[in-house]
A and B are shown apart, each in its own frame.
Chain A
């Protein structure tokens, strides 16, 4: 079986055992012995390959023929962990990735937190998994050197074999694994030197790409298990309405409909009602759903309207709010400053809209054990959520993570899993729940909007003396049911605003909390995607007020060495900042440093004859320190730029009478190929101990660099997203 097509391993019971023993060496547990250690392997379906052989560590399993299986703990949603995570071990083991089997972990304890989010997969595992690989290598080398009676330091590894050059001998890992597995795993193995790397740092083909280019890659929506029924769930378009009653008379007349039942979508601490239609086919379930007559009690939530809410945020902006970060004496410095400016910035809510709509397959073999197949960013989260919701033992929750058809933060929330689990439990058969695109677009959780109020005072030389960024926004956590603590700043909502390297003597950054009745969530690059727009546009306004070049102005605020200064300096060079542009063109710059990492962009735009603005080119410098797969870094950054342009220029999500006004890609449009600019990605990877994230940093600087470019080209200062490019020239 080509395991690059099917990501997940069935939870063989030996993995359970590994889970109990942690990352220590586990000896000689072959799959043939699996039943010794517990209940039977899933009797339902073997869509997933099983690791076969002996485990040198929970992550590395080798069989006697030398076939190596590497466990990937980080779900792949397109960010390339299917390659980058096993690569960390393969490098130390002298393996070529096209010759190993890569399987996905399912939340077992042995693998720690198995969540893809926060651009953390590579930077979080870089040293740990190299050590895991090196440790296994040393065990194999020790086994070989003992067999040959030669010093271990004369042995080398390559192509899944141990070599001894002096005696011209070599032996495959398969012949060594039994002996090696009886050795004690070294805790401080010697790591390869980076100059000897054959995989890390190289632009490497990803092993799953052929499967993803031929329809063979298995996503959650592709999972089919014997006896499986399909379900579609009607939920109130006003999120949070209570179900009063439903009439399923017409639904039950639809051929293939089996059952109609109340559903419950558990999104963190919120519970949302629904009506599930279960049928023999998805089409029958959908038709049956459309035939339902449901009465909802909106509980006043249908009074929510975006324009009124935005007005409310403007009112809140008059409050002082709470201090996020302060330095010096802002009030005095502002009062004394010869030049003052202020501005107000607004951003919208947006949807995640991964191309694969939410879906999940759940089967309960017994009342107290369950198996789940899901496109999810977090095997660990599923496990924890299932244990909490259904009072299960962790070992009785089997999780199979497939390739994710996009994630962008949406699949950190397992509401779609819990809802399917409730339905499947009630039905007593395996059920696949598929959300429609409309469900996916309208039901959240959404990226929240943030509004920003700025004040600044500039000295006689134009340089800033006083600076204030006040964020007015809902709190993601609060909308998910954890009430906001009065008197505290939700630091997620002020993300990055006090971390920029601009040296400003007097700062008073603040936060004003706003209630919001709609669920919001983590979106790719979280709050930095909206705050960077406001922050970096206002810095531009300051530069223009001071009559200075916006890039040089930024650098002038960075007298001390910093990564941000290096990024801007590099950006100045690679963007040919000083080279004049054609008439009607403009260029803008922005950078943003936040928890995930750091990038800076220069965007070039042109005025078109039809009165629109075209995004011509985006030049990006991303700062990483250490890089695993530069081609994947480029790909992720290209993608981050596309996603950021969508968020900056497309309508986003607005509410009328409590319901999202956008439902599908016709009303909630995404960037298309004809709108995609030329992208140039420059990677700063000069080594060093700090590794920064890849997936998110390319996103935040796009909107401000674009708005700053539009200002240069047209003289129009955009302070509200989304911007309508068709009307800006």
Chain B
């Protein structure tokens, strides 16, 4: 066992874990934040995507000892009430079906919009290729990223959706 100090969602944490434990399992089973998901264990599906000092990483393939002293953001750290512009866009476009991969999709999308505030479809394809959605929500992922980008780049609010969606 080893003592690993790191910051998760702006909270300093001291974890008593095996140093080779993947960050994913430290986040889920030790810290207890279960929004980050296990999908493949080999950095192929993106369900476990978190931000390491602001950049997206696949937490299933990063030993917790490798991120000692660093800052991790998980889906739970994005907002308190699902009101990050990306999350709002996800809700407006009703992106999730089963929802299991969506934490990872959202974390990848947030990272994309940080580096590329106005992504083209091809930017989105490149940045989001690492996130598999078996339910096939890809067309909505694309639309939601454009919507979030528009909100983040202007003071304009999201188009009013009320209780209805589907006018696409």
Contacts and interface: CB of A to CB of B under 8 A. Distances in A.
B139 A357 contact: no
Interface string B30-74: 101111111111101101000000000000000000000000001
B42 A641 contact: no
A664 B44 contact: yes
B153 to A, nearest CB: 21
A698 to B, nearest CB: 10
Interface stretch (A170-178, A276-284, A381-389): A276-284
A355 B44 contact: no
Interface string A194-212: 0000000011111011111
Nearest to A354: B134
Nearest to A204: B163
A632 B98 CA distance: 12
A568 B163 CA distance: 33
Nearest to A219: B100
A469 B10 CA distance: 63
A640 B136 contact: yes
Given A221-B38, A666-B42, A214 B137 contact: no
B150 interface: no
Contact of A281 (B29, B38, B39, B90): B29
B124 interface: yes
B93 to A, nearest CB: 9
A392 interface: no
Contacts of A643: 134, 136
A434 B75 contact: no
A635 B94 CA distance: 9
B48 to A, nearest CB: 11
B141 interface: yes
Chain B interface size range: 35 or more
A213 B136 contact: no
A355 B41 contact: no
Contacts of B90: 209, 213
Contacts of A255: 1, 18
A213 B82 contact: yes
Nearest to A199: B163
Chain A interface size range: 35 or more
Contact of A676 (B42, B126, B136): B136
Contact of B35 (A202, A216, A635): A216
B113 interface: no
Contacts of B17: 281
A204 B126 CA distance: 31
A631 B166 contact: yes
Contacts of B125: 673-674
A191 B155 CA distance: 46
Nearest to A674: B125
B111 interface: no
A608 to B, nearest CB: 15
Contact of A408 (B47, B134, B161): B134
Given A210-B91, A215-B36, A355-B47, A406 B135 contact: yes
Nearest to B164: A203
B100 A283 contact: no
Contacts of B91: 205, 209-210, 213
B100 A213 contact: no
A635 B137 contact: yes
A636 interface: yes
Interface string A653-676: 000000000001110001111101
B29 A679 contact: no
A404 interface: yes
Contacts of A665: 39-40, 42, 44-45, 132
Contact of B38 (A203, A357, A673): A357
A673 B87 contact: no
B133 interface: yes
B110 to A, nearest CB: 12
A44 to B, nearest CB: 17
A481 B135 CA distance: 30
Contacts of B132: 355, 665, 670, 672
Given A403-B99, A638-B139, A214 B75 contact: yes
B146 interface: no
B141 to A, nearest CB: 6
Contact of A256 (B18, B32, B75): B18
Nearest to A437: B40
B118 to A, nearest CB: 18
Interface in B66-106: 74-76, 78-79, 81-82, 87, 90-91, 94-103, 106
B119 to A, nearest CB: 12
A356 B29 contact: no
Contacts of B163: 98, 204-205
A436 B94 CA distance: 29
Interface string B107-118: 000000000000
Contacts of B133: 355, 642, 673
B139 A678 contact: yes
A728 B143 CA distance: 30
Given A355-B39, A437-B39, A674-B129, A215 B98 contact: no
Q: With a 10 A CB-CB cut-off, give which of B40, B124, B141 has the most chain A CB atoms.
A: B40
A434 B38 contact: yes
B140 interface: yes
Given A203-B166, A224-B32, A434-B38, A215 B75 contact: yes
Nearest to B77: A215
Contact of B164 (A204, A638, A673): A204
A541 interface: no
A587 interface: no
Contact of A213 (B1, B41, B87, B124): B87
Interface string A605-646: 000000000000000000000000011101110111111000
A639 B132 CA distance: 12
Nearest to B80: A214
Nearest to B122: A674
B139 A281 contact: no
B129 A672 contact: yes
A354 B39 CA distance: 9
Interface string A342-369: 0000000000011111000000000000
Interface in B13-28: 17-18, 20-22, 25, 28
A261 interface: no
A670 B45 CA distance: 9
Contacts of B158: none
A217 B99 contact: yes
Nearest to A98: B163
A204 B142 CA distance: 20
A405 B98 contact: yes
Nearest to B40: A437
A630 B94 CA distance: 12
Given A217-B99, A406-B98, A406-B100, A664 B126 contact: no
A157 interface: no
Contacts of B79: 214
Q: What 10 pairs between A and B have smallest CB-CB spacing?
A: A215-B35, A642-B136, A212-B99, A78-B98, A203-B166, A405-B100, A78-B97, A215-B75, A639-B136, A674-B125
Given A356-B98, A671-B138, 19 more contacts: A76-B98, A211-B99, A212-B96, A213-B96, A214-B87, A230-B29, A283-B18, A353-B134, A437-B39, A437-B40, A437-B42, A630-B166, A635-B97, A638-B136, A639-B136, A672-B129, A672-B138, A673-B141, A674-B129
11 contacts: A214-B79, A214-B82, A215-B76, A281-B25, A283-B22, A283-B25, A355-B100, A355-B101, A356-B100, A408-B134, A672-B132
